[in-house]
Structure 1
Amino acid sequence: MMEEPDVPLTGGGRTAVARRGGVVHRETGPWAPSVHALLRHLEASGFEAAPRVVGTGFDADGREMLTYIEGEIVNPAPWTDAAITAVGRMIRRLHDATATFVPPDGATWRPWFGRDIGDGRRIVGHCDAAPWNIVARNGHPVALIDWEVAGPVDPLTELAQVAWNNAHLYDDDVAAMNGLPDAPVRITQVRLLADGYGLPAPDRQKLTARIIDVAALSAANEVIEQQITPDTEHAPRVWGIAWQARSVAWMIRHRALIERALA
């Protein structure tokens, strides 16, 4: 019996991803065993919004093997208010489940710019729960995919990253380019996300500043990863730097509105 062929998948970021039947095969790195331990813990905890590890977790070529999750990616379109509230609930369920996760001895995690942001307790989070990594069905979020940067994170930092990207706190012309609603609507979705998460009042007061911190450091990290210097003639992902830097400026201009929405 012939094996099913690999079907390349988009959205893999820095690594090649392919689907073979109901299994996703992905090039990975030394962090994979730690991520697989996390995913197995989530499965045992009853958290359903994540792929499952298949077999040993690796194919004959050393690629990781995770279950394929059926659905669609809503991005770049906006979430409905009900959907973004559900995103908040999903992240809360994730954090509740990972609170009891004990990483394996010698756990290795992929480097990520947000590891040291915040001074709160650390859990192991997804660390890239942007709308392009959330599978939806009929516009409702059902699962998180692309777990390669999972690792230790301050929960408020993860929620800030989720808010930034899922409420689309981007400059107005960038938002218009993607058919997103006006600023007040997007800012209201930050509150809905926090409501879904069940964020307490003291942390709501910190969230706006944390979102700005995450966006600024993400833009700086993009510059570092692309090794941009005064001699750089072309940056392959220069738009990634541009929209993130402009997003920071937009949030600073709208900071009072965001803080009022969360009050």
Structure 2
Amino acid sequence: MSASAPTTGARRTGAPAARARSPRTANTLLGLLAWACAIAFFLPIAWMALTSFHSETDAATNPPSLGAPLTLDGYREFFGVGGGASPWPPLANSVTASVVSTLLVLLLALPAAYALSIRPVRKWTDVLFFFLSTKMLPVVAGLLPIYLFAEQTGLLDNVWLLVILYASMNLPIAVWMMQSFLREVPVALIEAAKVDGARLPTIMARVVAPVAAPGIAATALICFIFSWNELLFARVLTGVVAETAPVFLTGFITSQGLFLAKVCAASLVISLPVLAAGFAAQDKLVQGLSLGAVK
């Protein structure tokens, strides 16, 4: 009887240890999977950056040469050094269209989200569904009437037309995102501000906006990225004056062939504003996108 007691105790102590090792192993495997996915997504970007420093001859080799000499010719050609089109007007148009449309979206989406979350209107779910239904129409389906409207009103090749279009495209997404963020704002803060005599604009600016700042930052960043990357409207509705950076990038694909090193250099430069904005607001982006996930 006494000899069997240690065996039973060993079994009892071994079971919790095995259960403890099981979550640890699962976390290790999930970590390795996450690293593998991150490397898989990063490799094309790293390859594009490396190719941008090669000459056109080395970039076109198959299989590609990793040890080819590095050069800045692709960047010189992109920035128009020694002749060629300058990228600064398209980049300025993209900055104008993206920044102004994002500010306009925030200006319109914040009061709408406030009405749908903190002070809900009647049948507010139907209102949200209406906002979402506007995204169900394919963009190309509305291209012809928008083109005819722009032609009749003289707005073709005008950057302010892109501002209006980008704002209208991103507004439903912004309202949907921000109403979920604003639902996390404590109503007691708003009631206290009303007791102190604060009016609605003051409440929005000094109470709601600071509390929901991570959500607002996440919404602004996503709207900025969508506006910066948009190509279809900019390609059809602009020409020379209002040409944006993505449209300028397509100009490197000519009948003479694909200049791979130059395209990679241009793609990397055009991607830098989005990458910089995401890096600068990464803490707000993660905090905003996870807002309300843990109750």
Question: Normalising TM by the smaller chain, what interval?
Answer: under 0.3
TM-score normalized by the length of structure 2? 0.22
Larger % of strand: which?
Answer: 1
Bigger Rg, which one:
2
Between 1 and 2, higher relative CO (CA 8 Å, sep ≥ 6) is seen in 2
Please identify which structure carries the higher helix content: 2
TM-score by length of 1: 0.23
